[in-house]
Structures are given as C-alpha cells and as structure tokens.
Amino acid sequence: MIYNAKYECMSREDMRALQSGRLKATVKTCYEKSPFYKRKMDELGITPDDIKSIDDIAKLPFTTKHDLRDEYPFGLQVVPQDQVVRIHASSGTTGKPVVDTYTKNDIDMWAEGVARVMAAGGVKAGDMVQVSYGYGLFTGGLGAHDGAAKLGAVQLPTSAGKTEKQIMLMQDFGTTVLACTPSYAMRLAEAIHNSDQVSIDKMKLKAGFFGAEPWTEGMRKELEEKLHIKAYDIYGLTEMCGPGVGGECEYQDGTHLWEDMFFPEIINPETLQPVAPGEFGELVFTSLCKEAMPIIRYRTRDLTRLIYDKCKCGRTAVRMDRILGRSDDMLIIRGVNVFPSQIEACLTEFPAFQPYYFITVDRKNNEDTFDLDVELRADLYTADPQKQAEYVKPLFSQIVSMVGIKPNIRVLEPFGIERSTGKAKHVLDKRDFSK
Ligand code: DLL
C-alpha cells in the first residue's frame, strides 16, 4: 500500500519545487538560529539569499560527524528546550555520542517515514509488529514502534535480546511482522529452527523490516526461506531522525528515499563534488522538515548510488542501491579495499556455511594478515581438517576472485562466532597505524 501518494508519487517537477521551498526555509532558519551554520556560511561567503532553489544546494557547507561531536550535546538545536519532546543518540565507537533532538512535529514526521516503509511492505491495522530493535537512545526501537503505531498496527515492544522469550511470544501472540537488525533476525531464525518448543510452521510471520547495518541479497534469501517472510530493507540514521529515511517497496529493487523530508546527494568523497547520475559515491543528506535540529549536507559515509528510473510500484521517490558499506568500515588489506559486506556476499553463496563471519586483520613481519572465521552448518560440522578443506576450498576461491586477496579461513565449532542482538561486529583490526 502507498501510505502518502501525494509525496511518494509526486512528479519530479513538483518534488523539485517542494524541495526548493523547504531548503530555502531550512537554510534561513539555520543561518538565523544556529551560530554553527552562520559561521560555516560566513566562511564560504554565502547568505540564505544565495539559495534560490534546490539546484543551489552545492553552494552550502557540509556537516560531518566530527562537527556534531564538537557541537555536543545541543549546539545544533535551533528551538528552545521547551519545544523538545525526545532525545536520541547513536553510540559511536569512540568519544561522545551523536545526539538528535525532536519536536513533536519531528516525531510525527519520523513516524510517517517508518509508516511509509512498513505500508509499502503490506503492514496495516490488524498486524502485530514485534519490535526487536533495541529500545533506548538507539533510534531503532522507538522509531519502528511509532511507525507501526501510525498504521494502527499492534506494537509488541520486545526490544532486542531474551531470544527464547522472543520466539515464544512470536508464536503464542501470532506476530505477523518482525522489525530488527538482519543479524538479529538470523539469530532468531536459528533459535526457532533449533527449538523444540516453537515451529516456524505454527507462526504467522509474513514480513520483516531489517536495517541499521549493511546486509546482502544472500542474507535476504536466507531470511525469507527460514522465516517464511518477505524481507524488506529499511534505512536510516540518527542524524536525520532514525529508521525510515527510506525503505523498499514490494519489488525489493532499491530503497525509496523520502525526498520530501530528506534531500539526497551522492558526492565523490575525495573531491567532494557531485558524481555523475547513477555513479557510486558517498551519500549526503539535507533535512528538509526537521524543526529541532535541522542538518545541512550531512556526510553519512555510506557508499551507494541513486536510481532515478521510475519504479514499477508507481512511486517516483528516488531509489538508493544497497549500501555497499561505510567508507570508514572499509579495510585496506595488503593494499586492497575490502568491505565486510563482500565477504558476507561470498559466504551466502555456499549453503554449507552459516552466514556468520568474523575478520581479524593484523600485521606480522611487515605484512598484513587476514583471518576469516566461519562456521559450517551444525549438521555438517567436522573437526577433520581434510574434510573441512573440501568445504573451504570453493569459498576461498570465490573470495579471491571477488575481493582479490587470500584469506586464512578458519572453521570454528558451531556457535563459535558470537551472535548479535543489534548491529553485528564483524571486524577486529589489530594493526597499529601509529607506528
Ligand atoms: O541505525 C537507524 C536505523 C535503525 C535504521 C533501525 C534502520 C533500522 P544509526 O545508529 O545512527 O541509525 O546508524 C546509521 O547505520 O549511516 C548506515 O551506515 C547504517 N545503516 C542503517 N540502515 C542501514 C541499511 C540507525 N538498511 C548507520 N543498510 C547508517 C545498510 C544501514 N546500512
């Protein structure tokens, strides 16, 4: 179902006009109310009058995660505190978290973004949405919750973790929709299949909305088969509100971005110039309706491309290709660029292996080492190195041909790789780049 046809199916011309008006208003507010943006625009010698339409967006300064950390916690907020009704933050691995604050309208806009994604995947009143994203400062739990509420669906706020209880409730309550990270969905699927208390055949699941981390088509196939669902990608980031910046439609052929709310650009991360239409690069967003903390040209670090062809579903909203990875997740091993998602893509081509993996990179004798821990399916597990080698050989060749470097593949015992309830951690880089 199309939740808001006015915006999701707007003509490109009308969309540009809408975006132009909203950009001008956002820039004016930022210039007048945010010392940070006034300073940045003054440095570039521009004022709000220089922004006449969305075509002028490239004149504006970028905002980076670094800027947000410098302005921690509320430096970018442009409304008085009594208009703020919610605060979220993304954990981040180092230093202070990135904070987003919301007015009532911001929460409403955000819920609509998620509702559009869930409606595109068939969710409606009467559905029961089990929200197994973490509730808390992380935007996943409450974001999915509010989106489901907007559609009049039942919200089942289980949060992440307590896997045995989750699957019991899933069966007993008749959950129809699951929302969680793709890695936690894998863990739930595994727990269901290993359980003698519940059975997927007794469940009513029909759809899943998975995001917050990169995942692959191989993983989608696996989740759809194991959970008897259609698995949809949902994208978002704290800086723009949270999940629901975009999501897939029934054709599962790219993530529609809600361009009336967030203006997307793709830039070359080296030159910072826009790439040619359809080329890969770094995704940049400008919020077009955020009230409490508007953000101009935020560099997401996510690498993808935009597809402006019309989608079969009738939506005109631009589509984004799967996120290849984050530029800061990219490993350079022996001079070769490696994205963890490439390893996952290889792994899911071999059904003998579980889709779990862990990469350890180190440097020994001035050379990078690249260890890849994998698991065989429990029923195929063997400790015999020769038998293991039979399984490992084709996987090794595939990784060498796809990624271009040779991993040292180690087969761990079943459950040897830690299962995640939120965003999975796939990499340990032990190299010391300070030396
Ligand atoms: O992860 C918001 C979210 C929650 C999205 C639940 C979807 C579902 P952050 O913690 O700020 O917010 O992390 C944002 O996660 O820049 C991407 O690198 C990554 N990410 C989010 N969704 C996807 C996705 C939430 N569908 C960062 N595919 C983003 C790939 C994703 N990466």
pLDDT tens digits along 237-294: 999 999 999 999 999 999 999 999 999 999 999 999 999 999 999 999 999 999 999 9
Q: What are phi and psi of 346, to 5 degrees?
A: -65, -50
Q: Per-residue pLDDT tens for 199-227? A: 999 999 999 999 999 999 999 999 999 99
What number does the ligand 1 atom closest to the CA of 255 have?
A: 26
Residue 94 has pLDDT above 70, yes or no: no
Rounded to whole angstroms, the Cα distance separating 196 from 201 reads: 12
pLDDT at 327: 85
DSSP code at position 317: S
Residue 97 CA, ligand 1 centroid: distance in Å? 15
Q: Supply angle C-alpha 105, 111, 117, rounded to 5.
A: 140
* 93 — pLDDT class (breaks 50, 70, 90): low
Q: Per-residue pLDDT tens for 123-132? A: 999 999 999 9
Residue 243 CA, ligand 1 centroid: distance in Å? 7
pLDDT at 92: 64
* 329 — pLDDT class (breaks 50, 70, 90): confident
Rounded to whole angstroms, the Cα distance separating 104 from 109 reads: 9
Q: Which of 306, 170, 158, 148 is nearest to 227 (CA)?
A: 170
282 lines ligand 1 (CB under 6 A): no
Q: Supply angle C-alpha 96, 133, 228, rounded to 5.
A: 150
140 lines ligand 1 (CB under 6 A): yes
Rounded to whole angstroms, the Cα distance separating 167 from 203 reads: 9
Residue 335 has pLDDT above 60, yes or no: yes
pLDDT at 432: 83
Hey, whose CA ends up nearest to atom 15 of ligand 1? 212
According to DSSP, the residues that pair with 282 across neighbouring strands are 267, 303
Residue 202, Cβ density class (10 Å: 0-12 exposed, 13-18 middle, ≥19 buried) = exposed
pLDDT at 435: 63
Instruction: Give the residue, out of 88, 132, 237, with the most ligand 1 atoms within 8 A of its beta carbon, to mutate for a pocket test.
Output: 237
Q: Which of 239, 138, 217 is nearest to 179 (CA)?
A: 138
Residue 405 has pLDDT above 70, yes or no: yes
Q: Give the count of beta carbons closer than 10 Å to the beta carbon of residue 308.
A: 10
Q: Per-residue pLDDT tens for 48-58? A: 999 999 999 99
pLDDT (average), residues 67-84: 97
Residue 19 has pLDDT above 90, yes or no: yes
Hey, whose CA ends up nearest to atom 10 of ligand 1? 90
pLDDT (average), residues 154-168: 97
Residue 8 CA, ligand 1 centroid: distance in Å? 21
pLDDT at 95: 74
302 lines ligand 1 (CB under 6 A): yes
247 lines ligand 1 (CB under 6 A): no
Residue 14 CA, ligand 1 centroid: distance in Å? 29
pLDDT (average), residues 337-355: 94
pLDDT at 238: 97
Q: Supply angle C-alpha 128, 423, 173, rounded to 5.
A: 20
Hey, whose CA ends up nearest to atom 28 of ligand 1? 214
pLDDT at 131: 98
Residue 96 has pLDDT above 90, yes or no: no
133 lines ligand 1 (CB under 6 A): yes
pLDDT (average), residues 59-70: 96
What percentage of the chain exceeds 70 in pLDDT? 99
Q: Which of 198, 193, 220 is nearest to 208 (CA)?
A: 220
Q: Give the count of beta carbons closer than 10 Å to the beta carbon of residue 293.
A: 26
pLDDT at 91: 75
* Pairing status of strand 128-131 against strand 154-156: parallel
243 lines ligand 1 (CB under 6 A): yes
pLDDT at 143: 98
pTM of the model: 0.94
214 lines ligand 1 (CB under 6 A): yes
pLDDT at 194: 95
pLDDT at 326: 87
